[in-house]
């Protein structure tokens, strides 16, 4: 199997199922393997004080109105499930609380995802690991000790997992990305390693694959100027297509490692090695 490419829609749909479908279409057209969303139970994830705080948004003037405006309920996810099946693309979501994780279980998804923000929530990790679905674990904002504790939960539950190197800055600068951490994770945990990027371009994702990343996750957007905290760190259609195309070429370019002279190269040798001994 080649590199597994996840198009992270997240909350870039802005609560609009039409935008969500256009983003799914964009991922399909680019050749991605899966799309991913985010699911939160607002009154569990946020405190009453946070939700009542003022915030101007397209949905109103409070944090609650903004947070609720970015969420899909059951009808929305039913339509996402139907549409992804129609388009032939895998979908799953990162839950930000146990109630949301139980909600997602009704769709019998192939994968789970642990967001970087949830990596230190051991009780939540235990709920996810009990499902024994292959889980992608992002490691932003985390120390090796944090990752050790998370991995122990999945090992104990015998739940398969992949670790995704991640830097939780939006967008990430070159000096922050530190792709060499992938080697550290691979050596320490001996598991499948990937990269979840938040940079503004595609170079780091391509380099990550050349360094052995088996999974790439990138946020996608219809337009980086749209409302939303993740839009500026997301890829538009052209960059997404270019990234997927480049990643699919890498195994061919890398080759098998055996030094040979091809028929095409031999023909060139006949022309250029004209000297006699």
Q: Which helix (H) or strand (E) holds 276?
A: none
- Per-residue model confidence as pLDDT tens digits over 12-52: 999 999 999 999 999 999 999 999 999 999 999 999 999 99
CA-to-CA distance for 140 and 199, rounded, in angstroms?
13
Q: In the predicted model, what is the mean pLDDT of the chain?
A: 97
Query: Which stretch of DSSP H or E encloses residue 269?
Result: helix 263-272
Entry field: residues in the chain: 277
Label residue 61 exposed, middle or buried (CB < 10 Å: 0-12, 13-18, 19+).
exposed
At 275 the pLDDT is 74
C-alpha torsion angle, residues 163, 166, 168, 171 (rounded to 10) = -150
Tens-digit pLDDT profile for residues 163-173: 999 999 999 99
> What confidence score (pLDDT) does residue 274 get?
80
CATH topology of domain 4-272: TIM Barrel (3.20.20)
Q: How far is CA 237 from the centre of its chain?
A: 16
Task: Count other Cβ atoms within 10 Å, centred on residue 101.
Answer: 22
Averaged pLDDT, 55-70: 97
Domain parsing of the chain, residue ranges: 4-272
Average pLDDT over residues 112-123: 98
Mean pLDDT of 154-179: 98
277, pLDDT greater than 70: no
User: Of 218, 226, 136, whose CA–CA distance to 177 is shortest?
Assistant: 218
The tens digit of pLDDT for each residue in 234-259 reads 999 999 999 999 999 999 999 999 99
pLDDT of the residue at 276 = 58
* β-sheet bridge partners, residue 6: 34, 217
Average pLDDT of the residues in 137-144 = 99
* 3-state secondary structure labels for all residues of 72-105: CCHHHHHHHHHHHHHHCCEEEEEECCHHHHHHHH
Residues 6+ apart with CB under 8 A from 177: 167, 197, 199, 204
- Please state the pTM of the whole predicted model: 0.96
Asked, as a colleague might, if the bond just before 242 is cis with ω within 30 of 0, I would say no
Q: Where are the beta strands (DSSP E) in 74-229?
A: 90-95, 111-114, 134-138, 161-166, 192-197, 215-219
pLDDT value at 1 more than 90: no
């Amino acid at each position: 199997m080649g590199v597994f490419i996840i198009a992270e829609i997240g909350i870039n749909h802005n609560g609009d199922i039409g935008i969500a479908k256009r983003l799914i279409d964009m991922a399909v057209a680019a050749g991605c393997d899966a799309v991913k969303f985010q699911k939160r139970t607002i009154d569990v994830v946020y405190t009453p004080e946070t939700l009542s705080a003022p915030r101007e948004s397209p949905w109103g003037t409070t944090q609650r109105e903004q947070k609720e405006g970015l969420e899909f309920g059951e009808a929305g996810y039913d339509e996402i499930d139907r549409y992804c099946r129609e388009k032939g693309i895998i979908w799953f979501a990162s839950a930000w609380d146990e109630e949301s994780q139980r909600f997602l279980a009704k769709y019998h998804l192939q994968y789970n995802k642990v967001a970087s923000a949830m990596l230190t929530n051991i009780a939540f990790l235990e709920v996810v690991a009990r499902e024994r679905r292959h889980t992608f674990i992002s490691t932003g904002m985390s120390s090796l000790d944090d990752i050790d504790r998370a991995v122990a939960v999945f090992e104990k539950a015998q739940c398969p997992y992949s670790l995704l190197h991640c830097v939780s800055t939006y967008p990430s600068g070159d000096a922050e990305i530190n792709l060499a951490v992938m080697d550290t994770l691979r050596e320490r945990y001996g598991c499948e390693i990937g990269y979840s990027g938040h940079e503004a371009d595609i170079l780091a994702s391509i380099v990550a694959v050349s360094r052995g990343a088996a999974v790439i996750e990138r946020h996608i957007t219809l337009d980086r100027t749209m409302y939303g905290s993740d839009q500026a760190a997301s890829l538009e259609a052209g960059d997404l297509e270019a990234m997927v195309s480049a990643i699919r070429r890498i195994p061919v370019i890398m080759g098998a490692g055996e030094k040979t002279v091809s028929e095409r190269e031999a023909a060139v040798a006949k022309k250029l090695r004209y000297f006699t001994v």
